[in-house]
Structure formats: C-alpha cells, structure tokens
Amino acid sequence: MPVMKTSIRAKSENPTKTVVEANTFKMIIDEPESLGGTNEGATPVEYLLGALSGCLNVVCHGIAAEMGFTLNSVEFLIEGDLDPAKFKGLSDEGRAGFMEIRATIIADTDASEEVLQDWLERVKSRCPVSDNIANVTPVKISLK
C-alpha cells in the first residue's frame, strides 16, 4: 500500500488563537482566558486528546467489524498530566508535553470478555495517533 501524505495549513489570528484548515474543515485552537487567550476553541493539548479519541473510534469500530462482533457504541474518557513549567519557561527540567495519557474505552457490546481483550490489544497496536504519541516520531521544524 502506498504511503499516504496528510497535511494541514494553519494561521495565527493572535498570540493564542490559531485557525487550522484541514481538508475542507476549519478548527479553532485557542487558550482559556486564564492563560491569556480568548477561549474561542479547545487548547492544542485538548485537540491532541480529541485526536486520540477520534482515531480510537475509527480503529475500534473497524477491528470489531473485522472480528465479526457488533459494537453498538463506544465512549472514551481520556486525560493527561501536564506540568506547564517548561512550556512557560519557568524550568528547564521535565517535559513540555504530557507526562502520561490515560485512555479508558467504554464499549457497548455483547462480545465476551475474551474477545474484548483480543480486540483491545489489536486496537492498541493499530491506532495511528496513539502510535505517534507513544513512540518517537521525527518532527522537523524549519523556517521559510
């Protein structure tokens, strides 16, 4: 299968607000007023967690269909721990990003526990967003 290229275009509207164009869609990324933003959109890290939920949704349903069981609905509870000290320039220690992300999947199905455990392992191994979060992915940032 050929490599699939994915891209977006984004433009800053002010120091905290970014408008992202992805395909034919627009997303607003902002910060809450408490962090100097205008609170017109989710934060960048909330979008990251949201992207994980969206990817897990597609993978969960696709693998359930492959395995031959019905997934009536699926819900995700995702949270992460973030220390803003490095991001804000208050420390050179630790990470600027999440220290840990925890995702809980609530599946409405009549599949057995054994089938669901197999399904979960397949989901964890095939989700592109969780793969990018969990593993080192080269990010090349340049100036034009």
What is the pLDDT, as a whole number, of residue 35? 87
pLDDT in tens, 23-35: 999 999 999 999 8
pTM for the whole structure = 0.93
Ramachandran assignment for 39, one of left (phi > 0), alpha (psi -120 to 50 degrees), beta (any other): left
What's the CATH class of domain 43-134?
alpha beta
What is the pLDDT, as a whole number, of residue 88? 86
* SS3 of residue 132 by DSSP: helix
Enter the tokens of residue 65: 């269909």
Domain ranges of the chain: 8-42, 43-134
* SS3 of residue 143 by DSSP: coil
Distance CA 48, CA 93 (A): 22
